Amino acid sequence: MGDLKERIAKRCAKEFEDGDFVNLGIGLPTQVSNYIPEGIEVVLHSENGFAGLDALAAPGSEDVDIINAGGMYATAVDHVGYFDTATSFGLVRGGHVKATVLGAMEVAENGDLANWIVPGKKVAGMGGAMDLVTGAEKCIIVMLHTQKGEPKILKKCRLPLTAEKCVNMIITEMGVMEVKEEGLVLKELHPDYTLEEIKAATECDLIISPDLKPMEE
């Protein structure tokens, strides 16, 4: 399981360009900070109040004052900026975030997102997800393709929505998909899987890109 999540995080990190200002959500998205390609500078935003997030802290070198949005000990770059929550979300709502990377419980083929609550279960709240998916220029979902064998990429979300038609890209251990007007387009397929396998693990129909290529590692 760990290797699959690492695969997803590594592939997601390849989406960024030099100078991008990127938000990382809780859970799997926090791992993306470990794999930013060499040669580019990406400013990583953490909604709890800083810009300049770096890799997760190694065991034994934790700084109790540097914690990411998921409550995990992290590191920061030398030119890190710390600020209050109002400023943090001012950056999001002001359209300054190039991309936000979030997890999901369900994503629909039209880009609808459900990632904050399962009815009947306790939850801390929606957090910043609703702001992030509407304020960021691009929304990238990173997640395992299925949950206990059941598809998470659906024709229509069954759980309460975080936002409608907000997802631009989905990256799983099986492949990379883009939400387009015509539907969900499979752009990359991991060599560990066949087209038949990813189709079987996806509830909605996948449009196979004519330029389909192996998923980048």
Tokens of 149: 């064998």
- Judge whether 47 counts as a catalytic residue: yes
Active-site residue, selected from the candidate residues 6, 15, 38, 47:
47
**The residue type at 69:** A
Distance CA 62, CA 53 (A): 14
Do the Cβ atoms of 178 and 191 come closer than 8 Å? no
Distance CA 162, CA 105 (A): 11
Distance CA 99, CA 23 (A): 6
Tokens of 159: 């759980």
Q: Give me the count of residues in the chain.
A: 217
Residues annotated as catalytic are 47
